[in-house]
A and B are shown apart, each in its own frame.
Chain A
Amino acid sequence: MYRSLFTILSARNTRQGLWGLPLLVALLISLWLTVQTTEFATAENLFNLVAQAMPLIIAAIGQLVVVLIGGLDLSVGSVISFTTAVLALGQPAIVLIPSVFLLAALIGLINGLAITRFNVHPIIATLSTQYIVLGITRILRPVSGGTVPEAVIGAVSGSLLGIPYPLFWGIVVILVAWKLLYGSRYGLHLFAIGGGIASGTESAARNFGVSDRRNIILAYVICSCFAAVAGVFLAGRIVSGDPNVGLLFELDTVTAVALGGTQLSGGIGSLHGTVIGALVMALLANGMNLANVSPFVQTAIKGGILLAVVGLQSRKKMGL
């Protein structure tokens, strides 16, 4: 018992990364909030917490897929804003939902192609698409407004058998991601490619017949699609299109991923760690809101956490 607990808390060299510690942090924050505030442990606040955490959990899982192959997707936030803007175009849901995912896949495809075919650094490629998508979003919807189809709103509010719908979203997304990462050939290839990139032997996976190019492109497509799911969820929550709703979301997802023990250099990381990392972020936000911390200070604190968790990771490469 003691031994296995120790392994979880200090599992530095496993493929899953260090995820026990953030779990401990999440539990400690919840405990502290339960003791310190009367509002935290109420059904209403916990429901809100789940609903608040869900977009970050979904988008962070997408980011995890890209981080596992040693990449980074900075276009996540703008894809989320873009999705809400498209959903508020006033067309029926049956048209909007497929087009949202097609467009997200297209953005991911552009990222992936630029990185693999044209040798552009992932950060530069996704930074440029971030700006392009942000510009298109601002043309579609300069300020927040419009109405989202009823079906989307209905899918995120309400509950079934006492279980709120947002929780179902989480369960479905996590199951899909679990199958993708741990139950498919693609998941195995992701870890293989990422491990090669992290250790500086980029051709290792290729030598075993794993096509790195196609898998990397697919990773960026998957990341954008997860961001689109998060965008659909958020659109249902805010009931309108908002060009700024995804602002700085890409950094929150990176923080959540890194907080969950995933190494940004690739190859090491876990789904449960990422979900826990996103939960810690949501708990912190919830706690800071309950404690009336200024939103500006909250942003600064988030930046500090990002700096701290990424700063604690060690890596070989210097620079980008």
Chain B
Amino acid sequence: MAAVLANPIARRLLRIPPSYFVFLVLLATLWLARPNMLNLNIMGIFIRQIVPLGILVLGQLVVMRVKSIDLSGGGVILLINYFISSGSFPGASLPFFVVLALATGLAIGLFNGFMIGNRRVSAVIVTLAVSIILVGLVQYLSSGNPPGDVPKLFNDLYNTKFLSVPTPVLFWILLTAAVWLLLAQTVFGRYVASVGENAEAAHFSGVPVQRTVILAHTLAGLIAAIAALVQTGSIAVGSVRVGLDLPILAVAATILGGVVFGRGDGGVWGPFFGALCFALLFVVMTVLGIDEPGKLIAQGVIILGAAIFYGVRVRTP
């Protein structure tokens, strides 16, 4: 094993995020099983479904770069879905809901960031607890039943196309590019990289570690709010279960994409393909007739496999 890992070609290959390999394997499987499904229209629909996940991944990758994690996305999505579908704001316009959603995400992200950066509480505990509180609250407010309908405009926007590419997919690509610019070109991006690499060294080099962590979490909350808006547009109704499995899928896609705690080898596009992998994976599993439990097992195996992939690599200097 060690000899194989020491081989320069093997090491070069190990540098590529696993998401690209998995993506190709899944594409090949689909091509062998159902070649007729590989056309732009059908794939567009499948990829469109994964856009909320893809957007959530962008927030996840920023916090995972600073050795943190955000599992509160499920609660944020549920709460914003409730705001829009419950009819608590009769006659409100689209911009109002967008501002409300962004403010909610910002507030929750800021709270997460404060607890993690300032109070130094374990990120898993904070974000899981926040998620549980939000889910419990929404389920109580809606007495366990799905709230009402979503204003029609949300779904209409979601269904538009631009040059035969679904608008949500285009929006996702643009947002990914924006996060790429943020991480690659700005001072904040440099701070994120240095805090992830070595927080102590970053601190002594004058990097505001605490502020970077808080800002990263605030950004993740904001991005989760955007994911919530897209998710609400996609299902077009209120729900008490929507998006609950998204945070964990986002973690899986991010790790698959080559971003592990503190290490950002996969950049932004590795996790982008990680999310695409899940779009293909769900198609392949549906085609092969594997249902819900099988998907849970696949998620677990993918996270563990990708994490072991990196763990082994870290061990060999």
Q: Do A and B bind each other?
A: yes
Which residue from B115, B123, B255 sits with its C-beta under 8 Å from A124? B255
| A135 touching B115, Cβ below 8 Å | no
Q: How far is the CA of A109 from the CA of B133 in the complex (A)?
A: 32
The answer on a CB contact under 8 Å between A118 and B120 is no
Report A111-137 residues with CB < 8 Å from chain B CB. Answer: 114, 118-121, 123-125, 127-137
| Contact segment of B99-107, B267-275, B288-296 | B288-296
Known: A119-B315, A251-B129, A320-B124. A127 touches B140 (CB 8 A): no
Contact with A along B61-77 (1 / 0, CB 8 A): 00000111100000000
What residue in chain B is nearest A200 (Cβ atoms)?
B200
A86 at the interface (CB under 8 A from B): no
Q: Which of B108-136 contact A (CB under 8 A)?
A: 115-117, 119-126, 128-136
Shortest distance from the beta carbon of A118 to any chain B beta carbon, whole Å: 4
**For the complex, is A310 an interface residue (Cβ under 8 Å from B)?**
yes
Q: Across the interface, do B132 and A299 meet the contact criterion of CB distance under 8 Å? A: yes
Which chain B residues lie closer than 8 Å to A254 at the CB level? 125
Interface residues of A in 291-312 (CB under 8 A from B): 294, 296-304, 306-307, 310-311
- The residues of B that contact A137 with a CB separation of less than 8 Å are 293
Provide 10 A-B residue pairs closer than 8 Å at the C-beta atoms, listed in order of the A residue. A114-B308, A120-B311, A135-B296, A299-B132, A299-B136, A299-B139, A301-B136, A303-B132, A314-B120, A318-B199
Write the nearest CB–CB distance from B192 to chain A, whole angstroms.
12
**Does B300 reach chain A (CB closer than 8 Å)?**
yes
Q: For A307, list chain B residues within 8 Å (CB).
A: 115, 121, 125-126, 129-130, 133
What total of chain A residues lie within 8 Å of the partner, measured CB to CB?
50
Q: Which residues of B contact A127 (CB under 8 A)?
A: 248, 251, 300, 303
Q: How far is the CA of A5 from the CA of B141 in the complex (A)?
A: 44
B16 interfacial by beta-carbon distance below 8 Å: no
Asked if A198 CB lies within 8 Å of chain B CBs, one says: no
Q: A142-B293, A313-B121, A319-B213 are in contact. List 17 more A-B contacts (CB 8 A).
A: A124-B255, A128-B299, A128-B301, A128-B307, A135-B295, A251-B132, A297-B140, A299-B139, A307-B129, A311-B115, A316-B120, A317-B120, A319-B67, A319-B116, A319-B199, A319-B261, A320-B68
Residue of A nearest to B293 (CB): A138
Residue ranges of A at the interface with B (Cβ–Cβ < 8 Å): 72, 74, 114, 118-121, 123-125, 127-139, 142, 248, 251, 254, 264, 294, 296-304, 306-307, 310-311, 313-320
Interface string of B257-300 (1 = CB under 8 A from A): 00001000000000000000000000000000000111111111
Q: Which of A121, A130, A132, A138 contacts B261 (CB 8 A)?
A: A121
Interface centre among A114, A125, A298, A311 (most CB of B within 10 A): A311
B44 touches A (CB below 8 Å): no
Q: Is the CB of A136 within 8 A of B293?
A: yes
Q: Are B120 and A315 in contact (CB under 8 A)?
A: yes
With A119-B315, A296-B144 in contact, do A131 and B296 touch (Cβ < 8 Å)? yes
Residue of A nearest to B315 (CB): A119
> Can you name the residue of chain A whose Cβ is closest to the Cβ of B71?
A127
**With a CB–CB cut-off of 8 A, which chain A residues contact B294?**
135, 139
